[in-house]
Amino acid sequence: MNSSSRRLILASTSPFRRELLTRLGVSFETAAPEVDETRRENESATELVARLAAAKARAVGAWEPGLVIGSDQVATLGETVLGKPGSHEQAMEQLLLLSGHAVTFQTGLCLLDSENDTQQLDVVPFTVHFRELDAAQIDRYLRHDQPYNCAGSFKSEGLGITLFKRMEGDDPSALIGLPLIRLTAMLENAGVLLP
């Protein structure tokens, strides 16, 4: 079975995830999953992203036959889950908090075969170590990239890379929200041939 015989659906409307998936050179469609993303009481970051990645894939797979990719991501500073800032002021606060610290991004990834109801599920971590940043640096960065809809208040694929001292992890695409190295292995397990 090869990629031309399997329908591939990305359960996301994220332009970042869509752009990442195009790197694999496979044909795919996108669909918006209808999922409540509220964190449950006492749910860890890894439990949260695994549950939401699977829920997104299953929400789309319930009405779309094929291989459905679900993904979800959170940023954590220690045990604190960081949300999307939503505004310049909140992004300033978040980046001042992150200055000089390590932030771990947990990215849940699910590949659901909705035709036989089997799934592969994993959580891929990636850690970013921030430089010591002052308010003027952060303000200049935010006015340039305006990452108000991004967990952690930065876009690593943009000028956000200048905020980092170093990065560590097995899959840099996990930082953007879709771990392509792990996804490649999942797709091959499902019979999709990639180069």
Domain ranges of the chain: 3-189
pLDDT of residue 3 exceeding 80, the answer is no
Q: pLDDT tens digit string along 46-94?
A: 999 999 999 999 999 999 999 999 999 999 999 888 888 999 999 999 9
Confidence band for 182, pLDDT divided at 50, 70 and 90: very high
Say what the pLDDT of residue 84 is. 86
Say what the pLDDT of residue 62 is. 95
As a three-state string, the secondary structure of 153-184 is CCCCCCHHHHHEEEEEECCCHHHHCCCHHHHH
- In CATH, 3-189 is 3.10.20.600: no
Nearest to 154 by CA among 170, 126, 175: 175
Residue 90 forms beta bridges with which residues? Answer: none
pLDDT of residue 12 exceeding 70, the answer is yes
CB 94, CB 48: distance < 8 Å: no
Say what the pLDDT of residue 152 is. 87
Confidence band for 195, pLDDT divided at 50, 70 and 90: confident
pLDDT of residue 1 exceeding 50, the answer is no
Say what the pLDDT of residue 46 is. 95
Say what the pLDDT of residue 79 is. 85
Q: Where are the alpha helices (DSSP H) in 37-87?
A: 45-61
Q: pLDDT tens digit string along 85-124?
A: 999 999 999 999 999 999 999 999 999 999 999 999 999 9
Name the residues annotated as catalytic. 72
Q: pLDDT tens digit string along 158-177?
A: 899 999 999 999 999 999 89
Residues in the chain: 195
pLDDT of residue 4 exceeding 60, the answer is no
165: tokens are 């001292």
Say what the pLDDT of residue 2 is. 45
* Beta carbons within 8 Å of 116's beta carbon, 6+ residues apart: none
